[in-house]
Structure 1
Amino acid sequence: MNAPIRAVILDLDDTLFDDSACTHAGLRAVAHAHSLSVDPADLFARHAAHIRAIDPLLFSGQLSAHGARVRRFAGLLTELGAAHPDGEAATLTYRAAYRKHWQLLPGAPEVLRDLRAAGLRLAVLTNYVREVQGQKLAHFGLDALVDAVLCVEDVPAAKPDSRAYHAACAALNVTPAQAVMVGDSWQKDVQGALAAGLRAVWVSRAGLPAQDAGVPVVSRLVDLPAALGLVPA
């Protein structure tokens, strides 16, 4: 029999915070500023590839968050054949639009309050830097609704390494068997958590079925308490 759930660990981007929508808004602004005609999905994918390539420099402290943005937009604009691939100007354009469109996914604060009211300890576990993620959490007051926030600098290794989840469990003073990881990434939030001895709930906004029939799936955060068995489904 499973141990009773004592803690819920949540991803941030595209689990509580609508990072995809904000990113699309920022990229639209950059494309417009540089008169680029590019498919939004292709632009999003190219941008994500530049993030993956540069993140190791950011995480190792060789670049600041701003410096990482400047480098990735200089590379992205060069790749797209922009006439003036100014990474600094593109970063300012992107960040202004990204910040303007900051939004939580529906129900995020309410669900956190409901989980706390049920007596559960809560943490946010994110694979990005505190300089950025801390601003988001504070802006919406989510930092006051959780017991711990672990960013990439706070763990021995990022998700899906087992040490990331174990660090979050330690911060909440629970065992892995007593914790549930909730997130939108099948690899980082579900597979990694299961391998580390936690349970998991997959946030699939597209409504896709889980690759493992034993993993609960929610397309809306408001359905999370029921998926955890806290209220009738």
Structure 2
Amino acid sequence: MLPVRAVILDLDDTLFDDTACTHAGLAALAAEHDIRHWTPECLFARHAEHIRAIDPLLFRGEVDAHGARVLRMTRLLTDLEVPNPDGETATRTYRSAYRAAWALLEGAVDLLHELQARGLRTAVLTNYVRQVQLEKLTHFGLDKLVDVTLCIEDVPAPKPDIRAYHAACTALGVVPAETVMVGDSWENDVEGARRAGLRAVWINRQGRPAPCPAVTQVSALANVTSLLG
């Protein structure tokens, strides 16, 4: 087995706490419209369905990031049976609360500093648009702690397509066998990476059963570097 020379990291819910921010945005939206008959979990799930439906439009350039948000909020409020939904106003409400809740997950900065100290090459590989993801990275200074950032526009296909991981390896100047992928998504950060010839570390904060027990998993980012040899 070749020694590890590079680490590729997912962004949302690996380094950046996107789930908590999304819940904050949806809670503000629900309060503004006095929505009581939807639990936070159901609201989050329905919101996620609209993201999955609208993201292809964003990725094809048919709408920009703001337009995608307005469309998503309009469809979500329609689901919630809000009369005459105003997607622009809802987007401002949601985005203000989402932005106010921005936070990194515990250990994110320390992990990146440790990887730098070890002389490892690092990349962020994310399945979302550069405009949105770079705003998060620069806000927290993470852009200065990684060598390469690859967003949806920068790869031939998104994770879990093997070409995404190979593009990241090429950008880092390493081969897959020298590279570890770290992330919270089993499909996007573990299965896809392993098919591409990388090693993988699954961030499993909820203690979910591992589909493949042989895969290395940790409950916190602080435990990642001890696994890299």
Q: Shorter-chain TM-score category?
A: over 0.9
Deviations 1:141-184 (A, max 9, x none): 00000000000000000000000000000000000111010000
Q: Residue 27 of structure 1 corresponds to which residue in structure 2?
A: 26
Q: Distance in 1 between matches of 2:163 and 2:140?
A: 28
Provide the TM-score with structure 2 as the length reference.
0.98
Q: Distance in 2 between matches of 1:224 and 1:207?
A: 16
Q: Would the aligned equivalents of 1:217 and 1:227 in 2 still touch at CA under 8 Å?
A: no
| SS of aligned partner of 2:224 | helix
Provide the TM-score with structure 1 as the length reference.
0.96
Deviation at 1:83, TM superposition (A): 2.4
Q: Would the aligned equivalents of 1:209 and 1:217 in 2 still touch at CA under 8 Å?
A: no
Between 9-18 and 110-119, report the one with greater CA deviation: 110-119
Q: Residue 138 of structure 1 corresponds to which residue in structure 2?
A: 138
Deviation at 1:24, TM superposition (A): 0.2
| SS of aligned partner of 2:84 | coil
Deviation at 1:9, TM superposition (A): 0.1
Q: Residue 75 of structure 1 corresponds to which residue in structure 2?
A: 75
Q: Residue 96 of structure 1 corresponds to which residue in structure 2?
A: 96
Q: Distance in 2 between matches of 1:84 and 1:23?
A: 23
Deviations 1:117-144 (A, max 9, x none): 1111000000000110000000000000
Q: Distance in 1 between matches of 2:104 and 2:60?
A: 29
Q: Quick check: 1:176 aligned with 2:176? A: yes
Q: Distance in 1 between matches of 2:55 and 2:158?
A: 12
| SS of aligned partner of 2:160 | coil
Deviation at 1:199, TM superposition (A): 0.5
Amino acid at match of 1:20: T
Q: Distance in 1 between matches of 2:208 and 2:4?
A: 25
Q: Quick check: 1:227 aligned with 2:222? A: no
Q: Quick check: 1:164 aligned with 2:164? A: yes
Q: Would the aligned equivalents of 1:124 and 1:149 in 2 still touch at CA under 8 Å?
A: yes
| SS of aligned partner of 2:163 | helix
Deviation at 1:227, TM superposition (A): 2.4
| SS of aligned partner of 1:30 | helix
Q: Residue 125 of structure 1 corresponds to which residue in structure 2?
A: 125
| Structure 1: gaps of 5 or more residues | none
Deviation at 1:19, TM superposition (A): 0.3
Q: Would the aligned equivalents of 1:113 and 1:145 in 2 still touch at CA under 8 Å?
A: yes
Matches within 5 A, 1:22-61: 22-37=21-36, 38-61=38-61
CA RMSD, 1 decimal: 0.8
Q: Distance in 1 between matches of 2:216 and 2:226?
A: 10
Deviations 1:24-50 (A, max 9, x none): 000000111111111000000000000
Amino acid at match of 1:126: T
| SS of aligned partner of 1:104 | coil
Deviations 1:42-81 (A, max 9, x none): 0000000000000000001111000000001100100110
Deviation at 1:228, TM superposition (A): 2.2
Amino acid at match of 1:136: K
Amino acid at match of 2:94: Y
Q: Distance in 2 between matches of 1:210 and 1:173?
A: 31
Q: Quick check: 1:113 aligned with 2:104? A: no
| SS of aligned partner of 2:181 | strand
Q: Distance in 2 between matches of 1:214 and 1:180?
A: 15
| SS of aligned partner of 1:202 | strand
| Structure 2: gaps of 5 or more residues | none
Percent of paired sites with the same residue: 64
| SS of aligned partner of 2:124 | strand
Deviation at 1:208, TM superposition (A): 2.2
Q: Distance in 2 between matches of 1:211 and 1:223?
A: 20
Q: Residue 12 of structure 2 corresponds to which residue in structure 1?
A: 13
